[in-house]
Amino acid sequence: MFRTLVRWYDLAMSRCFDRLRSPFLLLLRLVFGWGLFQTGKGKLENIGRFIDFLTHLHIPMPAANAYFVASLECVGGLLLLLGLASRLICIPLTVNFIVAYLTADHDAVVNFFKDQDAFTSAAPFLYLLVSLLVLAFGPGFFSIDEVIGRMRGAKQLT
């Protein structure tokens, strides 16, 4: 009886839910990749305001950082949408959102244990979370990375 329950549990958890991983990662990449692209594009279109914002936060070399961050978000969003170099682009994106937390939402980080709602409602939270998820689990089956891996004959962990 116990073995039967374990077998059914294994069937439900590992086989059924594992099949949801790639569609879930695709949905995350599409939604947040598009949002990230739009955010980066908006920053590039209004680069003066973004430079002023970084200046207000006392970021060193605000103009250079503004162009870098806006371009990173724009290109990173497109790469996430396509599922191309996904894990690679998630490394600078993760660093970018950690820096965003530490500069623009410093109070949310400092008061994390007092007020988790402030941390999770901060602007960089979802983008940081998605970057970490794609970094950890890869882009999934429905990605150009997977196609390239199959063409090379390499085993992909998706």
Closest CA to 127 of 148, 105, 152, 98: 98
Q: How far apart are CA 15 and CA 68, in angstroms?
A: 42
Q: Which residue has the tokens 């949310």?
A: 108
- First-last CA distance in the chain: 33
140 membership: H or E segment, kind and range: none
**Count, residues in the chain:** 158
Give the separation between CA 69 and CA 45, rounded to whole angstroms.
Answer: 13
Residue 155 is predicted with a pLDDT of 56
What's the sign of the alpha-carbon dihedral 113, 115, 117, 120? negative
How far from 80 is each of 22, 48, 99, 142, CA to CA, in Å?
Answer: 14, 26, 20, 11
d(C-alpha 31, C-alpha 34), whole Å: 5
Is 14 a residue whose pLDDT tops 80? no
Please report, for the chain, the start and end positions of each structural domain, with discontinuous segments joined by +: 23-152
Q: Is the pLDDT of residue 1 over 90?
A: no
Res. 152: pLDDT tops 70: yes
Question: Could you tell me the two tokens for 35?
Answer: 């949002």
Angle CA 74–77–79, to nearest 5: 110
Higher pLDDT, 94 or 123: 94
* pLDDT tier, 20 (very low <50, low <70, confident <90, very high otherwise): confident
Give pLDDT tens digits for 32-78: 999 999 999 999 999 999 999 999 999 999 999 999 999 999 999 99
15 falls in which pLDDT band (50, 70, 90)? confident
- At 58, is the secondary structure helix, strand, or coil? coil
- Is 33 within 8 Å of 78 (Cβ atoms)? yes
Per-chain mean pLDDT for the chain = 92
pLDDT at 120: 92
